Amino acid sequence: MPSHDRTQWLARRILPHEGELRTWLSRRPLVGLDIDDVVQESYAILAGLGCVGHIRNPRTYLFEVAKSVVLMALRRSQVVSFSALTDMESLEVPCDAPGPDAIAAGRQELERIATFIATLPPKCREVFTLRKVHELSQREVAHRMVISESTVEKHMGKALRLLANAITYGGNSPIPASKACEDERARTETSGIGLRN
């Protein structure tokens, strides 16, 4: 289970680069691979590291971890052509060019945060604003809004899910539900082919 420090590190040093990582991964021919899976596996590795204090370039590190996750999965799947594997292996992690998702400083970052909060649905937004901007506890939020604590918790969960998408897809449009369903079907079909071979 990730410690408080590790969570802070992930929030500050990794999360800001996730959008760029997704863009990078989406340009690769990932047969039967889901980018969300790769991202989750990568976070799992980063959360499980013994220590991170010595990682000088977290962005590069994130990309390398994701790349190793993809390679492992490609090897295991056995439906991938050898050339796809070597393509991925020889792939250079983009470096040194801060992309549009790079960490913004001070006031700008705060504006970005405010903008994200503004995109939440009304009730969800009210809960999240009281909890994070006014720094009330979930219990205090429940009292203030005269709703149950479990409702506050549900709104918080929903806010975190929506905000995760907003941050990491560049804040434009989260993938619509129907599209996500298609992806899911495509994934299951590809793995079906893998079994037949």
Partner 1 sequence: MKTNAPEQKRPESASEIESSAASWAAKADRGDLSFDEQAALEKWLGADTRRLGAYARALAVNAHFDRAAALGPGFSPDDFEEARPSPPPALKRRHFLFAGGAALAASVAAAVGFGALSAGAAVVTAKGDTRRIALAEGSAITLNTDSRIEPRFEERLRQVDLVKGEALFDVSRDRDRPFVVHAGDVRIRVLGTSFSVRRFDDGAVEVAVLEGHVEVGAAGELHPHSLRRGQRVRVSPRGDFRIERLSHAALERSIGWRRGIIDLQGMTLARAAAEYARYSDRRIVIADPAVGAMKVTGVYSTSDPLGFARAAALSLGIQAIPTADGVRLDRR
DSSP letter for each residue of 21-69: HHHHHHTS--TT--HHHHHHHHHHHHHH-S--TT-S-HHHHHHHHHHHH
Task: Report the nearest approach of partner 1 to the CB of residue 145 (Å).
Answer: 15
Indicate whether 143 belongs to the interface with partner 1 (CB under 8 A): no
Options 27, 135, 176, 178; binder of partner 1; rule CB under 8 A:
135
* Phi, psi of 65, rounded to the nearest 5 degrees: -60, -45
Indicate whether 140 belongs to the interface with partner 1 (CB under 8 A): no
Dist CA 103 CA 13 (whole Å): 9
Options 109, 121, 143, 148; binder of partner 1; rule CB under 8 A:
109
Is the CB of 105 or the CB of 146 nearer to partner 1? 105
User: If residue 78 lies in a helix (H) or strand (E), which one and from where to where?
Assistant: none
Indicate whether 82 belongs to the interface with partner 1 (CB under 8 A): no
CB-based contacts of 152, cutoff 8 Å, min separation 6: 127, 131, 138, 141, 142, 145
Is the CB of 131 or the CB of 146 nearer to partner 1? 131
Indicate whether 123 belongs to the interface with partner 1 (CB under 8 A): no
Q: Are 69 and 38 in contact (CB under 8 A)?
A: yes
Indicate whether 120 belongs to the interface with partner 1 (CB under 8 A): yes
Indicate whether 115 belongs to the interface with partner 1 (CB under 8 A): yes
Q: Binding string, 40-79, against partner 1, x = CB under 8 A?
A: xxxxxxxxxxxx--xxxx--xx--xx-xx--xxx--xx--
The single-letter DSSP state of residue 120 is S
